[in-house]
Structure 1
């Protein structure tokens, strides 16, 4: 049987392969690209064959040609590249993330005649990685991906708005005080919306300087500024087809607001250092704890950007306007901390729960969670009492009880109140917590009444 000379059919074989293949001559010109390569970069083979490989804008390539070194690039010196992550520039100007492998082709005499490069498309892998990272962060921070807790009328109204907003592609502006759960609402909007299978990209606008935020949002081209050694996709480009969450939108400088307006209005952006316009299909979810109307009046926020973002507003009420949700929130946090600290017996005493429900919580849900996490770590018995809370809150709650005691004037029922107190203490063996439970009041109320009537445990038991 006559041996088959496979080399005669290489071109046809390579065209059928799933992996993208590119062959570059020693002069740096492209001599072959298969169909998968055409699909990857958007150019046809005819368009790029005979052109220098720099047409693909690979950010991992380092041109080494000089008067004393007759080599097109590092590959022709090193001989191979293995598992190199790089970004190629497609015909439409967008970036595509790839994994590159390359080696030299030599003739029968051992002379290098070309280099063959293969590229694996990492786009879907990058999307999955971003999704996994986002889910992991949400689980670590909140214990549940969309863990918005609330049964109050105010929160039920918010839930209805989320359901309606999720069905649309309208831009959304979430407002509310710090700590009310704006990021959780943004996550819920994405997870219940039409774009839930696509990326959900978050950025805290207050955490980045004006010089950095444009590169983060819109990306940059290699060499755009000092330190820009590689092409970089911006968050809007990474979120193509999905949602972008701009937290603390009120912190963005007015110069960046103008560029952001173009993306929100026309879905077009320009990378830093590149003047080519790119189309991105994203929905913008923005959030702020600032009064944007006031910022507009002061010239700190563009009104046209505000109107584009505020298509569907969602306002989150502060915790002191939905006090009936405090016990539910507290129990949900305790359930989380039971698992986190491996403390199965962890619970909140009724007296502490009553105090939590009375406090005004200026830091909202975030403050409540912080206080209970501290108490969960400190509590040895598993029952969170007043002395387990941070010192600041012990003092605040003591003052709250003193004010309550001072606001109750003496009257005809004073004697009866004293008798009930003494009886409860006698039946509880002088234990103030058990006496409070019998009376249906907080332990601090018992303490205040004992002080008011000059009662001590020794006198009761004596």
Structure 2
């Protein structure tokens, strides 16, 4: 069979776009799939320069023909690469492109052929999945940070914004608010995510040990230094270093840290040879650095260097609406580890958690849930299973906790459903996804528990 007689029929049935150009880049042929992809009729493209499509994957070298103007003719082929073209409506179209130079029997370049696969639907699906994950906080929250309140949503937005730059970040917040999680999220969302993430607790070491930990030391630098050792800055090269509890760092170490920020190089203890480091610096503290500056305990110039982009981690008291969601996550985590089935909290237990001030923030809440998980013998955690300082809070209404009664279980289930519906703005399909049940089940529970969507959900 002589396929040369049927090549046009073959290429016109391809689902991928195909474009043939001459050595000067003038389009000489397009198949129907390429016409559909670009929005141009074949006669609108044939005879025009291929630059009309504005492909971001093209390497334009200059004017003329062949290898003098296009990188494709220089290399002979282009492996599959993702790029975009501009269609007739001036919209960007995501494609996978490959290309190869065409030569005649004598080896002379006579043109090139390009194949274009439309990736717009795939890219759109990936964007929708990413948006859905972000809105639903799947996979244990946003980089491990759990919450849906306005304050926590704003925190997520700040993380994504600062992750695009290499600017120093100062993470502020009370103890237990998740400052390390925020620092890790910034690293994991940045271009440095493939590099190391190194954490140093500046409050845990004395001055001499801290300098050695940060900058490393050479053999014999001090008593006990039997061999040379790299520091955390060198270990973090190409990645991110988190200096936790930066407010507790000694003044002499602050001077050396300032030099690292300004010159991007360190010196090991006992050595004077500068070592360049490429590190993104994130600092964190629960102390008032400006007050420490007034007291002479913190250098003002260092503060200005690390405070380029401050991020505040809200306390748990600032976002009480997140408590039920965080508690559910902790219970699920305990269940996965211990294999013990706990459905949730009774109304009395949840009331106690919401009434407590949480000076230890999320860390204290986690400890309280683990404490209750161990004590609870049944399916529902009651107020009596919580730590005494939480369960005996004054001012709580007398809610009877009887884990064995269906009434209590129904009340807790109703409370969880109302909370979920409020978080989704009354969207029952979204609530079903979050609770991992069908939409019909949500509708039946709304009827069963007598939930007034207008009064209890939409007007909140």
Indicate whether the TM-score tops 0.5: yes
* C-alpha separation in 1, matches of 2:184 and 2:215: 22
- Check conservation: 2:267, 2:273, Cα contact below 8 A: yes
Give per-residue Cα distances to partners, 1:298-336, cap 9 Å, x unaligned: 101001111110111100111111111111111111111
Are the counterparts in 2 of residues 352 and 385 from structure 1 also a CA contact under 8 Å? yes
Equivalent residues of 2:233, 2:279 under 8 A apart: yes
Paired position in structure 2 for 1:400 = 395
Q: Is the 8 A contact 2:342 2:381 kept in 1?
A: no
Residue 227 of structure 1: CA displacement? 0.9
TM-score normalized with structure 1 length: 0.56
Matched, 1:355 2:335: no
Q: Which residue of 1 aligns with 2:365?
A: 368
| Structure 2 gap segments, 5+ residues each | 1-138, 416-460
* Structure number with larger C-alpha Rg: 1
The number of residues matched between the two structures is 274
Q: Give the aligned partner of residue 255 of structure 1.
A: 252
Which residue pairs with 2:233 in the alignment?
A: 236
Change (3 A) 1:215 1:435: closer
Gaps of 5+ in 1: 1-141, 406-420, 442-462
Structure 1 residue 341: deviation in Å? 1.5
Alpha-carbon deviation of 1:343?
A: 1.0
- Displacement of 1:380 after TM fit? 1.0
Equivalent of residue 167 in structure 1, options 146, 158, 164: 164
Pair 1:434–1:267, CA change in 2 (3 A): closer
Provide the rounded CA distance (Å) in 2 between the counterparts of 1:272 and 1:155. Answer: 41
Q: Cα 1:144–1:151, aligned 2, differ >3 Å: closer, same or farther?
A: closer
Q: Contact between 1:175 and 1:313, CA under 8 Å: does it hold in 2? A: yes
CA distance in 1 between partners of 2:188 and 2:374 (Å): 32
In the TM superposition, residue 346 of structure 1 has moved relative to its aligned partner by 4.4
Contact 1:338 1:346 in 2 (8 A): no
- Corresponding position: 1:391 with 2:383: no
Spell out the pairing of 1:144-223 with structure 2 (5 A cutoff). 146-223=143-220
Contact 1:143 1:336 in 2 (8 A): no
SS in 2 for 1:187: helix
What TM-score, normalized to structure 2?
0.56
What's 2:297 paired with? 300
Partner SS, residue 290 of structure 1: coil
Q: Does 1:326 align with 2:295?
A: no
Asked whether 1:286 is paired with 2:283, we answer: yes
Q: For residues 409 and 258 of structure 2, what CA distance do their matches in structure 1 show?
A: 63
Runs of 4+ in 1 over 6 A off after TM superposition: 142-145, 430-433
Question: 3-state SS of the aligned residue for 1:214?
Answer: helix
Matches within 5 A, 1:43-122: none
1:444 — aligned with what?
A: none
1:330 and 1:435 map into 2 onto residues whose CA distance is: 16
Say whether the 8 Å CA contact 2:177–2:316 is kept in structure 1.
yes
Q: Matched residue of 1:154: which SS?
A: helix
Per the alignment, in what secondary structure is the counterpart of residue 329 of structure 1?
A: helix
Structure 1 residue 347: Cα displacement = 2.1
Task: Tell me how large the CA RMSD over aligned residues is.
Answer: 2.7
Query: 2:370 aligns to what SS in structure 1?
Result: helix
Are the aligned partners of 1:244 and 1:283 in contact in 2 as well (CA < 8 Å)? yes
Please state how far the C-alpha of 1:254 moved relative to its aligned partner.
0.6
Distance 2:373 2:259 in 1: 48
Match of 1:342 in 2: 339
2-structure distance, mates of 1:205, 1:145: 27
Deviations 1:203-227 (A, max 9, x none): 1111111110000000000111111
Match of 1:224 in 2: 221
What is the CA-CA distance between 1:342 and the residue it aligns to? 1.1
Contact (CA 8 Å) 1:166, 1:189: kept in 2 or not? yes
Aligned pair in 2 of structure 1 residues 372, 274: CA closer, same or farther (>3 Å)? same
Q: Indicate conservation of the 8 Å contact 2:171/2:282, yes or no.
A: yes
The CA distance in 1 between the partners of 2:361 and 2:236, in whole Å, is 31
Q: What's the CA shift string for 1:325-364, capped at 9, x where partnerless?
A: 1111111111111112111334222321122122221111
What is the Cα deviation at residue 392 of structure 1? Answer: 2.3
Give 1:431 shift: 7.7
Range with bigger deviation, 270-279 or 351-360? 351-360
What does residue 246 of structure 1 align with?
243
1:205–1:251 contact (8 Å) kept in structure 2:
yes
